[in-house]
Amino acid sequence: MALKKQYLKNKPVCKATFKLPKEAANEASRVVLVGDFNEWSIYATPMRKLKDGSFTVVVDLEPNREYQYRYLIDEMLWENDWGADKYVPSAYGNCDNSVIIT
């Protein structure tokens, strides 16, 4: 599933729905969304596990911006969003970060 974005009419907010599919979650018990919007905190934005084994969370973001992010699975494994708007090289390690454009 690609990122889902809903723009509110009454205030400047983009409600972004992030979803990590079961195939990427790999039997995870805990997944956290980590990125620019939460100062890369590994605790700030835990995701909810769905019955199908995927994980989801909705985050309010400021429109007309780009945010880098990744998923942290069971505090050990980093995963990118397969449906990200684009990818950019990370400043840390030999990997890319996912990007959402609001």
Catalogue all structural domains in the chain, each as residue range(s) with its CATH number.
4-101 (2.60.40.10)
Q: pTM of this prediction?
A: 0.94
Distances in Å between the Cα of 16 and the Cα atoms of 13, 40, 85, 95 are 9, 17, 12, 24
Q: What is the pLDDT of residue 89?
A: 96
pLDDT category of residue 64 using cuts at 50, 70 and 90: very high
Q: pLDDT (tens digit, 9 = 90+) per residue, 6-45? A: 999 999 999 999 999 999 998 899 999 999 999 999 999 9
Residue 1 confidence (pLDDT) above 80? no
Helices (H) and strands (E) in the chain, counts: 1, 9
Distances in Å between the Cα of 75 and the Cα atoms of 29, 32, 43, 44, 71 are 10, 8, 10, 13, 10
Question: Would you say 7 and 14 are in contact if contact means Cβ atoms under 8 Å apart?
Answer: yes
Q: What is the pLDDT of residue 93?
A: 83
